[in-house]
Amino acid sequence: MDKNYLDTVRNSKPTQFGILLVLFFALYHLVPHNDGNYFWRLPSLLKGIPLAINNVIFSALYDWFPLKVWDPIFEMYEEKAAFREFTKAVSQGLLFLITFVRELLLGGDKIIDVFVNDAWLKENDWLSWPALPWTAGAVGAFILGYQLNGFRLGLLGGIGAVYIAIFGNWVPSIQTLSFVLITTPICFVLGLSFGIWGYLDKKVETALQPVLNVMQTMPQFAYLVPIIALFGLGDHAGSIATIIIATPPMIRNTILGLKRISPEVVEAGLMSGCTKSQLLFKVLIPTARRDILNGVNTVIMQCLAMVVIASFVGAKGLGLNLKIALNSLKIGKAAEAGLCIVIIAVILDRFTKAWANKPVDYFENLTLFQRHRSLIIFATAILVFSIIAFIANGYFDKINYLYIIPIEKGLTIAHYIDAGVDWVWDTFFYTLNTFNKFLLTQVLGPMKKAYLGMPVISTFTLAMGVAYIVGGLRTGLIVGGMLLFIALSEYWDRALITMYMATFAVLMASLNGIIVGSIFSQTERGSRFILSVCDFFETFPSFVYLIPVIFLFNITDTSVLIAAIIYATVPATRYTVWGLKSVPLSLHEAGTMSGVSRMQRWTNIEIPIAFPTIMLGVNQTVVFSLQMVILGALIGTEDLGQIIFGALSRTKDGAGVALTLGVFVSLIAISVDVIVRKWAEDRKKALGLL
Amino acid sequence: MSPTISCTSVYKIFGDNAQKLLSENKGKVDAAKFQEAGCIVGVNDASFDVNKGEMLVVMGLSGSGKSTLLRCISRLTEATAGKILVDGEDICLMNNKQLIELRREKMGMVFQNFALLPHKTVLENIAFPLQVKGVTTDNSIQKALEMVELVGLKGRENYFPRELSGGQQQRVGIARSLAVEPDIWFLDEPFSALDPLIRKEMQDEFLRLQSVLNKTIMFVTHDFDEALRLADRIAIMKDGIIEQLDKPDNIVLNPATDYVKRFTEDVPREKVLKIESIMDGVDPNASSDFAISKNEIIETVAEKILNSKEIIKVTDENSNIVGSINPSKVIKVLFGG
């Protein structure tokens, strides 16, 4: 009898989870809530870490490896830290490149200034590169799109550009574009190189994995303060922050693409007599082309998602305008800037996708003119429109509308949007407010209290217990170790608030995603439709989601959570559709012949088979929710995000605090990831799907 | 004349301490014992020669080590021990540069799943081995066009692999492997991924090509019928060991082991055996007014023999009478007993 009982516990996971829950609640209620008790809260032994990190950064900047550098102004050698010189060189290089592209498109004399004497430049007013008229830019976008995938894509590019121009956002948009145009190639080169290195050397790949995990799960804000400390403020700092965030997916895509190449293709290359470099450049990389170019697409999307955040460290463009508009609560203006970011994102997304999938015709037998037709038309168009714009200079007296439309002269629908928001606000104020109040007092408040009232011992029991049941001792210890790091800092309570918000968002988003995904994937057309809706929403930079909710729900946890839920529903839906679509046709037929109803099909066939995939989607919602919850600090929340954001104005240990807390957030995400991934893999194995 | 490929005691053992285990056991490899030590035996003491212009078919079920053996000889994997001579040179001792040279000049290989480069057209795929060798674009394309014609893909030069059927893709694979005019041709289950009808067509095509080109061939397959159809000699492998290596008719008539016997049992003899294997000595009573060659497959001449009801003269390649055949023998082969 006894032995039987033990066997049940050993073999039945539900029983184990049941016991774990009982243990959790027992501890929850039994452990006294007082500060001296280590079961309640651990002592902040790791309090010194942020300062230590700061000291490392500052000594790296000012003390390590002093070099003698010639100072041309004081005409003497000066001791300067090598690292500092390095970061300076990187900053200047990046800034030069961004300015170069920017001036190429928008005109100016900064680049010319680099090459000629200051005084001489001032005396000669004509020494300034002219801006590209927006008309020429729009035609250029059309031709490029047409060349890539025909008339419709051309139209998308052209109309997008025209819209941006006549709404007066041409200059900030081009500023943002120039930022993307420089940052993307850098991410591409870095990502491709590391990806190839990781593919060629198993050890490198193993070492890269955890680094990439942290880089991708760390809130973007956390990078900003250290970057300011190291590189100063400006477009280049924004670019560096973006590079850190956008390179990991490029690396992953490269490794994935290279690994997917069938071994036979590699062998075929070898038997054709390829040398190592021929194999790499003529066989491996071209064969993985599609995955690599999809990586480029992801990089561009990440760049655009970062423009607002990059503006915190001095990047100019739409992001900055959006931030300023939001700060002064001008919803209409913010929405217009946001819309421009979305337009640029959609255009670049479609363009790069078309480029990735464009077959190359090597055997076109064309004349020189045909081959370069687009280029010639492009050049002609720019010339023609420039001339028109130049002539128009005489026609318009102050502002040349065919050249560049300044933001205050552009069309605007900002006041309509504002009026609309006001109307919604006036009409639904009571409803919204009641809902908001209800949610805050009845759901969120108690939930937050429950999380904060959780003794540290019960949190650990629950987290490590789940990890142990799912993945065994090793997984349990990994998760415990990661949480211990947070628990030993002084920010455990903040972390609990972050966890509470993330939990709520994940639960709601997963529920939404699974329901929406299941409904739409009932038909082939429905699933295609919902996947393209997901694509569309994913091109929105995360920041854009915050705009409407703030105005509906004020600056409360509700706003942040609703934004997080909407944002995180996208991956949950996508993975649900993927999972349901992966159910083999034969199983559907077997179900039909067994006479299942639609509901039975869903609960007995589709959901069980799709569940591992859906769980991977839930995994993504965790990352997405955390990102948005932290981003919520921008509009005021009181979790980890707030301190990370606050670190922007802390000089003494800002960089250290931001990095430490950023790592905390990513540890939370990685803990969940470790458990869910292991579980999904085991399920897949059990279902024979691997 | 020395053989084109000559293997002596070739071993391929997967696992970290394979080398050590092998030397400890002095070349006596017991698969079960090695597996306990964490090693998997791929090829176990393979010794054989392939002569110039000969087609050796390596036949075995999956996991028998046939593909591994082929990859040892093309050095896509390193043999753990043994000597592999190609035209008298030990390829296991070659450095990377020599190896690349060898592959560029002497070897061609066809793969089961075609292994075409997806970003290159038919023509470019075929020209690829020439281009990596440094042949100019014009010359390589010229050569590739000849190859396209040879494998019957004219008109599809600018197609991408994804636009071709399986059979067409494998024609490209074949053309690519032949582009450098190699002496040695490796084929790794080239027709296994194709439909039965296409497979038959491709086998015919392959025989036609070989009759023109006369390469030295190692052909790997899991299909015993295919082996019988194509081979000059067949090597049957099981668990890394070559169970029997002989001419097709000898294998059918005298299977060396029970394992080989299981393959040969269901093989219709008349489709494999030649007249030579059932003929009697020269018979002065042979009175037929026609003669048949000793190299004919029984099935193809059975009707003729049975219709004549007489003892028939058998001739060799030079029309000399070398034996006779009694219709009763043919009946025995056809209907057993």
Backbone angles phi, psi at A18, to 5 degrees: -60, -50
d(CA A378, CA A361): 21
pLDDT tens for each residue of B110-130: 999 989 998 888 998 999 999
Maximum pairwise Cα distance, chain B: 69
Query: DSSP class of residue B50?
Result: E
In contact, B260 and B245? CB cutoff 8 Å: no
pLDDT score at B266: 82
Exposure class string for A307-329: b at 16+ Cβ within 10 A, else e = bbbbbbbbbbbbbbbbbebbeee
Distance in Å, alpha carbon of B59 to nearest chain A alpha carbon:
20
Query: Are A428 and A575 within one domain?
Result: yes
Query: Are A34 and A69 within one domain?
Result: no
Q: Looking at the domain assignment, is residue A145 inside a domain? A: no
pLDDT score at A518: 92
Distance in Å, alpha carbon of B262 to nearest chain A alpha carbon:
31
**Is B108 close to A271, i.e. CB distance below 8 A?**
yes
Last residue of some domain: A359, A388, A406? A359
pLDDT score at A690: 62
C-alpha A682, offset from chain centre: 29
Does the beta carbon of A283 lie under 8 angstroms from any beta carbon of chain B? yes
Distance in Å, alpha carbon of A628 to nearest chain B alpha carbon:
40
Banded pLDDT at A160 (limits 50, 70, 90): very high
Does the beta carbon of B74 lie under 8 angstroms from any beta carbon of chain A? yes
CA contacts within 13 A on the Cβ side of A479: 27
Portion of chain A with pLDDT greater than 90, in percent: 23
Query: Are A45 and A93 within one domain?
Result: no
Query: Are A234 and A287 within one domain?
Result: yes
pLDDT score at A359: 61
Query: Are A336 and A439 within one domain?
Result: no
Please state the domain count of chain A.
3
Q: Looking at the domain assignment, is residue A152 inside a domain? A: no
Residues in chain A with CB shorter than 8 Å from the CB of B74 are 271
User: Taking phi first (over 0 means left), then psi (-120 to 50 degrees means alpha), and beta for anything else, what does residue A554 get?
Assistant: left
In the predicted model, is pLDDT for residue A14 greater than 80? yes
Query: Are A31 and A72 within one domain?
Result: no
Query: What are the Cα distances from residue A622, in Å, to A629, A684, B170?
Result: 10, 21, 47
Does the beta carbon of B134 lie under 8 angstroms from any beta carbon of chain A? no
Banded pLDDT at A250 (limits 50, 70, 90): very high
The structure's pTM equals: 0.81
The residue-averaged pLDDT of B252-258 equals 89
Portion of chain A with pLDDT greater than 70, in percent: 92
Banded pLDDT at B233 (limits 50, 70, 90): very high
**Is A267 close to B76, i.e. CB distance below 8 A?**
yes
In the predicted model, is pLDDT for residue A534 greater than 80? yes
Average pLDDT score, chain B: 88
Does the beta carbon of A287 lie under 8 angstroms from any beta carbon of chain B? yes
B132 closest CB neighbour out of A273, A287, A361: A273
Which of A261, A272, A274, A355 would you mutate first to test chain B, the one with the most B CBs within 10 A? A272
Q: Looking at the domain assignment, is residue A41 inside a domain? A: yes
**Is A271 close to B107, i.e. CB distance below 8 A?**
yes
Domain of residue A69, residue span: 65-123
CA-based nearest residue in chain A for residue B118: A287
Reported as type and span, the H/E element at residue A616 is helix A607-631
d(CA B110, CA B141): 20
Residues in chain B with CB shorter than 8 Å from the CB of A268 are 109, 111, 115-117, 173, 176
Task: Using the structure block, give the residue that is written with the tokens 């991977």.
Answer: A616
In the predicted model, is pLDDT for residue A371 greater than 70? no
CA contacts within 13 A on the Cβ side of B86: 25
pLDDT tens for each residue of A597-648: 888 888 888 888 888 889 889 988 998 999 888 888 776 677 777 777 777 7
Non-local CB neighbours of A284 within 8 Å, separated by 6+ positions: A199, A258, A261, A266, A269
Query: DSSP class of residue A633?
Result: G
Banded pLDDT at A369 (limits 50, 70, 90): low
pLDDT score at A368: 62
Residues in chain A with CB shorter than 8 Å from the CB of B133 are 273
A363 closest CB neighbour out of B121, B129, B186: B121
Q: Looking at the domain assignment, is residue A667 inside a domain? A: yes
The residue-averaged pLDDT of B247-273 equals 87
Residues in chain B with CB shorter than 8 Å from the CB of A287 are 117-119
pLDDT score at A367: 60
Banded pLDDT at B31 (limits 50, 70, 90): confident
B positions 287-326 inside 8 Å of A (CB): none
d(CA A385, CA B181): 57
Residues in chain B with CB shorter than 8 Å from the CB of A286 are 117, 119-120
Residues in chain B with CB shorter than 8 Å from the CB of A362 are 120-121, 124, 158
Average pLDDT score, chain A: 84
Q: Looking at the domain assignment, is residue A265 inside a domain? A: yes
**Is B176 close to A268, i.e. CB distance below 8 A?**
yes
Length of chain B: 337
Does the beta carbon of A273 lie under 8 angstroms from any beta carbon of chain B? yes
d(CA B56, CA B53): 10
User: Taking phi first (over 0 means left), then psi (-120 to 50 degrees means alpha), and beta for anything else, what does residue B301 get?
Assistant: alpha
CA-based nearest residue in chain A for residue B185: A271
pLDDT tens for each residue of A653-688: 678 888 888 888 899 999 999 999 888 888 888 887
Helix, strand, or coil here: A620?
Answer: helix
Banded pLDDT at B70 (limits 50, 70, 90): very high
**Is A267 close to B111, i.e. CB distance below 8 A?**
yes
Does the beta carbon of A365 lie under 8 angstroms from any beta carbon of chain B? no
Query: Are A182 and A94 within one domain?
Result: no
**Least confident span in A126-130, A529-533, B127-131, B301-305:** A126-130
Q: Looking at the domain assignment, is residue A113 inside a domain? A: yes
In the predicted model, is pLDDT for residue A298 greater than 90? no
Query: Are A529 and A669 within one domain?
Result: yes
Tokens of B136: 């100019």
Last residue of some domain: A313, A334, A359? A359
pLDDT tens for each residue of B96-109: 999 999 999 999 99
Where does chain B have alpha helices with state H?
18-24, 31-36, 66-73, 96-105, 122-133, 137-150, 166-178, 196-213, 224-230, 248-253, 258-264, 298-308, 327-335
Query: Are A95 and A213 within one domain?
Result: no
The residue-averaged pLDDT of A285-302 equals 86
Query: Are A272 and A203 within one domain?
Result: yes
Which of A309, A295, A322 is closest to A173 using CA atoms?
A322
Query: Are A595 and A651 within one domain?
Result: yes
**Is A363 close to B128, i.e. CB distance below 8 A?**
no
Domain containing residue A35: CATH number: 1.10.3720.10
pLDDT score at A577: 93
Does A82 or A121 have the greater pLDDT score?
Answer: A82
Does the beta carbon of B218 lie under 8 angstroms from any beta carbon of chain A? no
Which of B111, B122, B172, B181 would you mutate first to test chain A, the one with the most A CBs within 10 A? B111
The residue-averaged pLDDT of A128-155 equals 85
Which of B99, B100, B104 would you mutate first to test chain A, the one with the most A CBs within 10 A? B100
Which of B119, B159, B172 would you mutate first to test chain A, the one with the most A CBs within 10 A? B119
Q: Looking at the domain assignment, is residue A522 inside a domain? A: yes
Where does B214-326 have alpha helices with state H?
224-230, 248-253, 258-264, 298-308
Banded pLDDT at A650 (limits 50, 70, 90): low
Exposed, middle or buried: residue A66 (CB in 10 Å: 0-12, 13-18, 19+)? middle
**Is B74 close to A286, i.e. CB distance below 8 A?**
no
Where does B56-95 have alpha helices with state H?
66-73
Tokens of A263: 């071994």
Q: Looking at the domain assignment, is residue A132 inside a domain? A: no
In contact, A640 and A499? CB cutoff 8 Å: no
Tokens of A596: 């299942």
CA-based nearest residue in chain B for residue A285: B119
Banded pLDDT at A126 (limits 50, 70, 90): low
CA-based nearest residue in chain A for residue B115: A265
Bridge partners for A94 per DSSP: none
Distance in Å, alpha carbon of A617 to nearest chain B alpha carbon:
31
Query: Are A44 and A74 within one domain?
Result: no
Banded pLDDT at B264 (limits 50, 70, 90): confident
Please, what are the domains in chain B? Answer: 51-75+92-268 (3.40.50.300), 271-335 (3.90.1280.20)
| B317: number of Cβ within 10 Å | 9
A–B CB contacts, 8 A cutoff, strictly below: 73
